[in-house]
Each structure stands twice: as structure tokens, then as C-alpha cells.
């Protein structure tokens, strides 16, 4: 694994004026966000997240699911953007460059790292809506300082019938059409699609690189290990996001 920017990767990036960056879990891994089994999740360490991240779990016990997601949000709040997040924000500010981030992550580290054009394909821990009328919720929320087993979600102030839930795509739910259409537009109009830290296993997000290549857009993968997309991209650089992205942006400035 080399931290020296490959010449073909650098040349492709240098000629691109419109860049789409597709990011997955590997993008945030180096920010120290703990896994669900780490001690920071306290009483939740023995809970399978797939049991809670479903509409069925929510309607059966919204207080339990809300407590789980509220604690996840608190843990993310205590983490910080890494050098890869900050590098993308720097790249976005380059003259004559447009950079769109399309992420599968539900954290807010891209925004906190300085990126402005971010599409959250799977939603965000920090966006909320009513489970009944769908109205976005922007009221104040108090996140727990310690993990708790149950936490009553706010009632919807608009319809007064539903509860406020995280605006996240749960297992069994479709992607938001507007978000996915923005992602397709980003990759189709790009001069370069950069795939960073994603396993390439989750669809339809994993199909975006193929859409780009169908339009003749070069696809470059940055990942320290092979993914399900590795055999289909144009170029690969085996390096982590927090190491590779700063090196690439630094090289573009020379």
C-alpha cells in the first residue's frame, strides 16, 4: 500500500473540473467512530443493529429505537472529521472546480469537515421527520449523555398524530427518490468519479459507478483493500481515505 499518488490517478484528477466523490464506511472509520460492539455503546453492545433499524421495530417500540439512534448521534458528535474529510473540502474550494459528495454514511462528518455539496443517500442521524405525515422536524432535541434503554421520541407538532423519527433509510425501505436522482446527476455530469472507502455491496448505491462509466466518465477507487467494485473501475489506489485524499489534493496544488 503506497501513499505516493499514482501518476495516472493524479493526471485524471488534474484534468477534472467536475468531480463526484462516492463515500462509504471506510471514509469515517479513521475518525474514531466506534463499532456497535465497542464499549462506547454501553448497554447496546449486544444488540444487533439490524433488529432496530427497521420500520417494524420502530412501530413496535419507538422509545427503544429512538434511544438507540439518539445514542448513535451522541457518539458521532464526539468524533471529529479526519484528514480525508478536510481534504475534500479543500478540493471543493479550488478555482474552477465543482465537487459533489454522495455518501452512504449517516454521520455529519463531511459537513463538519467543510464540504458544502453533500447528498446523504441513506439519510442522516441529524435529520428528522414525522413517521406519519412525513413533515421534516427542526425542533430542539436533547441527546442522552449516557446510553439509555428507552427514550420517548418527540410528538409531531404539525399533525399531532405521529412521532419524530430519524430521517434514515431503514432496512426494507426504499431510497429517497430525490436524493438518488441527485446522485445520478452528479456522476453523469462529472469528469471524474472517485469511490472512497465503500465495499460496493449495498445497492442501488453500488450501481452509481457503472452509471458513470456508461457515460464515459472515468472511475477511480481509493480503498486500502479490494471491494466488490475493484474489478470494474478504471483505476485503483490502495490507500486509506485519511492518507490518500490529503496527498492527492496536495499534489493537485503543485
The residues annotated as belonging to the active site are: 122
- Sign, CA dihedral 74-78-84-85, equals positive
Is the Cβ–Cβ distance between 81 and 113 less than 8 Å? yes
Residue 188 burial class via C-beta count within 10 angstroms: exposed 0-12, middle 13-18, buried 19 and up: middle
C-alpha cell at 189: 455530469
Tell me, what DSSP letter sits at residue 146?
Answer: S
- Closest by CA to 147, choosing from 11, 7, 52, is 52
Helix axes 83-92, 241-252, angle to 10 degrees: 30
Amino acid at each position: 500500500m503506497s501513499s505516493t499518488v499514482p501518476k495516472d490517478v493524479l493526471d485524471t484528477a488534474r484534468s477534472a473540473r467536475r468531480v463526484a466523490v462516492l463515500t462509504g464506511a471506510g471514509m469515517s472509520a479513521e475518525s474514531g467512530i466506534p463499532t456497535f460492539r465497542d464499549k462506547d455503546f454501553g448497554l447496546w453492545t449486544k444488540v444487533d443493529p439490524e433488529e432496530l433499524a427497521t420500520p417494524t421495530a420502530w412501530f413496535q417500540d419507538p422509545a427503544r429505537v429512538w434511544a438507540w439512534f439518539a445514542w448513535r448521534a451522541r457518539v458521532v458528535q464526539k468524533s471529529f472529521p479526519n484528514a480525508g474529510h478536510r481534504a475534500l473540502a479543500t478540493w471543493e474550494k479550488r478555482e474552477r472546480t465543482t465537487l459533489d459528495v454522495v455518501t452512504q454514511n449517516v454521520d455529519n462528518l463531511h459537513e463538519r469537515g467543510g464540504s458544502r455539496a453533500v447528498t446523504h443517500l441513506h439519510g442522516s442521524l441529524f435529520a428528522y421527520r414525522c413517521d406519519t405525515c412525513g413533515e421534516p422536524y427542526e425542533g430542539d432535541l436533547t441527546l442522552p449523555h449516557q446510553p439509555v434503554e428507552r427514550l420517548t421520541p418527540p410528538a409531531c407538532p404539525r399533525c399531532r398524530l405521529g412521532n419524530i423519527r430519524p430521517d434514515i433509510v431503514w432496512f426494507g425501505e426504499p431510497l429517497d427518490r430525490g436524493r438518488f436522482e441527485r446522485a445520478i446527476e452528479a456522476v453523469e455530469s462529472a469528469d471524474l468519479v472517485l469511490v472512497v472507502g465503500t465495499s460496493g455491496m449495498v445497492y442501488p448505491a453500488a450501481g452509481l459507478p457503472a452509471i458513470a462509466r456508461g457515460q464515459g466518465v472515468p472511475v477511480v477507487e481509493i480503498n486500502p483493500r479490494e471491494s466488490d467494485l475493484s474489478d470494474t473501475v478504471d483505476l485503483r489506489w490502495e490507500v486509506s481515505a485519511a492518507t490518500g485524499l490529503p496527498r492527492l489534493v496536495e499534489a493537485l496544488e503543485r
